[in-house]
Homo-oligomer: A and B are copies of this chain.
Amino acid sequence: MAIQAALLGYGVVGSGVAEVLAENAAGIARNAGQPIELKYILCRSDRPGDPFSGRIVHDFSVIEADPEVEIVAECIGGSGMALEYVRRCLLAGKHVVTSNKELVASYGHELLAIAREKNVNFLFEGSVGGGIPIIRPITQCLTANELDEVYGIINGTTNYILTQMIVEGASFADALADAQRLGYAEADPTADIEGVDAGRKICILADLCFGRHISPELVRMRGISGVNARDVKYSRRVGYKIKLLGRALRTGPNTVTAYVEPHLISIRSLLSNVDGVMNGIVVRGNALGECMFYGAGAGKRPTASAVVADMIDCAKHRDARMYLNWDAPEPGHFTGPDDLISRWYVRTGASLAAVGGAFGNVRLINRESDPPDEYAFLSAPMSGHALRNCSRGMDIRSAFRVLD
């Protein structure tokens, strides 16, 4: 007996899911204990000639109303129709899997509550890090730890651009154009470039690690459009690479923070070697220390790898899986990142006297053939608030945290 599934959406991820289900059907049936059959694909167009065109339907309610369909993979994206359909599928008693980070970051808590009530699964391994196993490792393998921090390179588009700037010396604009040409960046690259995509993912990781919902609206998201080729050069001279990190950590017994910002990370760290479109996620616990997960964080087949694994898990577990859960938001739980203390990299046009007066002792970065009107330094450890106070009225061109 095969278990019946449906696909909502037939774009990049959806077609990847159909492809992997067909190509690896034998192994999937073995792992799931039974074959998984794709009964419907919800798609606006008919796709004549597509190998799966016979399964295409245009009306969601066909899927919703068919009691044979037990597993639904949402591949629409966003939180408009996707949210409505996922809710209705769960309410209809169907298992739902998705790689939609926007949906999970904003509505995960609510959708998990419906799933629990209906005793079905709502799984989203692909919503962070694409095909990299990360959700189950955190929620099943690291459960003996008090988790203190999670951070990483969780957006492939910006990592590709920064890698081009670091390795090829490209400007931000050229590297972005290159990424668009190769299909790594969208025509409107805002969500990637400005850190919004990474912000959603760090919310999901923080929810799982710290057990309480953090709304993406609270999270400061700062992307890489302010990173300059000169910042890359100055950083390298002191042994650092600039990487866009999502980062979440405990700031007290009952408080956490999360944010997205470019950071200087040491070239001696493993994470600094995560280049191109690849992702790397570091988790720190009090028993294990640090571990890292690395792989393709996006793309058709890597994302499908995670979505289909979730479908297999649904087939194996007809009752709700117990490992995914986090509490409702609580006032005071989330704090901004400005209290966090770190060293800062600063590029400035201010006079040495002004910098010395405001920042005290700093580590000046050696000058080579740099513009005569600027220099860069590493500050002593200070909070974001203190940095702002010190910088007041000064010509500050870049300021990024150093991850020590």
Contact = CB atoms under 8 A, between A and B. Distances in A.
Contacts of A289: 131, 295-296, 301-302
Contact of A285 (B211, B305, B316): B305
Interface string A344-388: 000000000000000000000000000000000000000000000
Contact of A302 (B133, B136, B287, B306): B287
Contacts of A16: 287
A123 to B, nearest CB: 11
A183 B32 CA distance: 44
A53 interface: no
Nearest to A269: B273
A141 B136 contact: yes
Contacts of A309: 140-144
Contacts of A32: 143
Nearest to A16: B287
Contact of A287 (B20, B136, B140): B20
A334 interface: no
Contacts of A1: none
A137 interface: yes
A49 to B, nearest CB: 24
A141 B145 contact: no
A141 B307 CA distance: 9
| Identical copies in the complex | 2
A142 B285 CA distance: 24
A286 interface: yes
Given A31-B143, A137-B133, A313-B140, A287 B274 contact: no
Looking at A133, A292, A308, the one whose CB has the most chain B CB atoms below 10 A away is: A133
Interface in A135-151: 136-137, 140-146
A295 B286 contact: no
Interface string A1-37: 0000000000000001000100110011011110000
A259 interface: no
Interface of A: 16, 20, 23-24, 27-28, 30-33, 125, 131-133, 136-137, 140-146, 211, 270, 273-274, 285-296, 301-302, 304-309, 311-313, 316, 322-323
14 contacts: A24-B146, A24-B287, A30-B211, A125-B141, A133-B142, A141-B306, A144-B308, A273-B273, A288-B305, A290-B295, A291-B293, A291-B294, A292-B294, A292-B295
